Amino acid sequence: MSVGLDPRGRDDGLGWVSRAVFPDERLRLTLTDGPQRTEPARGERLLARYAVVPSAAAARFLLPLGPRRVTAASVWAYNALRPVPVRLPRALLGLAARVGALGATRPGTLTVSAPVDGVPEEDLTLVDHVSARLGGGRWYAAIGVRPPDPNHKPTVQLFDAAGRPRGYAKIGWNGATRDLARAEAAALARAASASAVGDHPLVPGVLMAGDWSGQAVTVVEPLPARVRGVGTGDPPRVAATSAIARRGGPPTAARPLAGSAFLDRLRRLAAAAAGTGVVAAAGTGAVADAGPLGTAGPPEFAASAMDLPAGRRAVATVQRLADRFGDVSVEFGHWHGDWVPWNLGEHAGQLVAWDWEHSGPDVPLGFDLAHDAFQRSLVLGGASAAAAAAAVDHRLDLVAAELAVEPTQRRMIVQSYLIEMWLRTWRLAVGGAGWNPALHPHLLDEIERRSVD
């Protein structure tokens, strides 16, 4: 058994998650590679213990070691949303936790302690900070562990002492992910008035959002307990995406691309990518006034990720978009921004949508449907960027009548969406996430090819 190791010094997923979730240097984290528990040192107090599943060497989950019902609930919650091969092992793990046999699975143990110096627990750990803000009482955290990735945010499920889900927290820990966490909070606030109105999907409410210990934290309501996932082969949800675009209201008048806030934003982002604009936030709508790229911006601004020649190509593609489609009018509205089957569920006949971190206003109607087709092809089908773009063409052709768009409008929507996606790829890259090799430079190549067709 290895005793006394602080996982925050590791370079794997457990190290990355531990640094993000437990950033306070006053905390002592002690990891053992078996179910044996270490006690806090003299002059320290115990704050929390976690089972490291399946082991300290290959961690995937940190399960709270509190009341058995809480540990079991942390495994069973939303199991129906997970792929079938994952459900049974999790169900059995939860059963072991409920009957007190979790130790037989030989998990590691993480002990969190702090000096007995009068500092409130809510100033030391995220779960105590959130519970103090949202009603008090003893809460517990279940924490997912995944390989380190600059574009991923640690996620924390929060449970009360009865094992009831109380919230879901996302932690923005670098430039890109802080922007995403803040963008999701803003998007959910905007969508709240339309939630479950007509065809608009149900959206989780924001419980709290703000900065904590140098991180950007967004905590949202738990999903309905009996929510079920939608199939990856389900047809496109035209009515739901249109309701999102219109915030549950009626259609709005079509407006030309030229002079639109959307085209203006594309121009500014492309100029930033070329090194002549300002640093763009990771969310859809914001561009931070941070001075010329390469000279200012957030501390994590990754100047080494800049590809200025690609940025200049992006400027040219936006100009060609404006030249070719400037007088084409379409309806503009909001979009979810990451409308894919794995961000959707159903509960009591109502569609539920989560993960709104890429949402924003003032995009052409049909963007969510385009994104759904692109991601299904790229992620689920393993297709190239060009093939995924062709899937968008096919999708927009299929739903053209429901969207009431003509061929020229469809071509403008598709080209605009592809440019939007490349600029998102750039924003994440310079925010610290690195370039997505599936999209850069291949997506920009495809955009240019279409610009001259």
Mean pLDDT of the chain: 91
* pLDDT score for 324: 98
Highest mean pLDDT among 148-152, 286-290, 373-377 belongs to 373-377
* pLDDT score for 72: 97
* pLDDT score for 110: 96
| Among 272, 277, 253, 221, CA closest to 423 | 272
DSSP characters for 269-321? HHHHHTTSSEEEPSSSS-EEEEEEBTTBS-TT--GGG--HHHHHHHHHHHHHH
Could you read off the pLDDT of 312-359 as tens digits, one per residue?
A: 999 999 999 999 999 999 999 999 999 999 999 999 999 999 999 999
Average pLDDT for 167-177 = 93
User: Residue 329, Cα to own-chain centre: how many angstroms?
Assistant: 32
Average pLDDT for 249-263 = 97
Tell me the pLDDT band of 403, cut-offs 50, 70 and 90: very high
Q: With contact defined as beta carbons under 8 Å apart, do 238 and 399 qualify?
A: yes
pLDDT > 70: percent of the chain: 93
Could you read off the pLDDT of 272-301 as tens digits, one per residue?
A: 999 987 654 444 444 333 222 222 233 344
Token pair for residue 324?
């070719």
What's the one-letter identity of residue 391? Answer: A
* pLDDT score for 1: 42
Please check the confidence at residue 220 and state whether its pLDDT lies above 50. Answer: yes
pTM: 0.90
H or E segment and range at residue 427: helix 407-428
* pLDDT score for 304: 54
Helix (H, G, I), strand (E, B) or coil at 380: helix
Q: Which residues of 392-408 are buried (b: 16+ CB within 10 A; e: fewer)?
A: beebbeebbeebebeee
Could you read off the pLDDT of 38-83 as tens digits, one per residue?
A: 888 889 999 999 999 999 999 999 999 999 999 999 999 998 888 8
Q: With contact defined as beta carbons under 8 Å apart, do 339 and 353 qualify?
A: yes
Please check the confidence at residue 406 and state whether its pLDDT lies above 70. Answer: yes
Report angle CA 259, 264, 266 to the nearest 5 degrees: 135
* pLDDT score for 223: 95
* pLDDT score for 322: 98
Q: Distance from first CA to last CA of the chain, Å, rounded?
A: 64
Tell me the pLDDT band of 4, cut-offs 50, 70 and 90: low
Average pLDDT for 383-409 = 97
* pLDDT score for 299: 35
pLDDT > 90: percent of the chain: 81
User: Residue 411, Cα to own-chain centre: how many angstroms?
Assistant: 29
